[in-house]
Amino acid sequence: MSAMLLLLSGMVTVPQAPRKDLALFYRRACAECHGVDGGARSGSGLRLAGRNLADHRWQARTTDGDMVRAILKGKREMPAFGANLSEEDAKRLVTEILRPMAARK
């Protein structure tokens, strides 16, 4: 299989990738609890009372810094992702993936 096909199949992670595919990362690491659209309606999301990330009222009173901190360090049932994400990636995850979830509602 060519390197390109391996990449496309998602079986290979690229260690030097300059920018993480954060939409893909969200689907793999977060959607299980928060739902693909952030609504936390999935099985484990409901069980763990995963925060509805798409709730615009909650988003309005939460700073990017609060979200980044929760993502990197975890919060109660929320696992920490500091080992998987740099602080910069966590910030981009907030501004490019989480914030637009509320804007869509």
Given the complex with ligand HEC, which of 12 and 63 has the nearer CB atom?
A: 63
| Helical ranges in the chain per DSSP H | 3-9, 22-29, 31-34, 43-47, 56-60, 64-73, 87-92, 99-103
CB of 41 to ligand HEC, least distance (A): 13
Given the complex with ligand HEC, which of 14 and 80 has the nearer CB atom?
A: 80
CB of 8 to ligand HEC, least distance (A): 23
Under 8 Å between Cβ of 45 and 33: yes
In sequence order, what are the residues at sequence separation of 6 or more whose Cβ sits closer than 8 angstroms to the Cβ of residue 70?
A: 78
Given the complex with ligand HEC, which of 12 and 28 has the nearer CB atom?
A: 28
Q: Which residues bind ligand HEC (CB under 6 A)?
A: 29-30, 32-34, 44, 48-51, 53, 62, 66-67, 70-71, 75-79, 81, 93
- CA–CA dist 18, 21 (Å, integer): 10
Given the complex with ligand HEC, which of 6 and 24 has the nearer CB atom?
A: 24
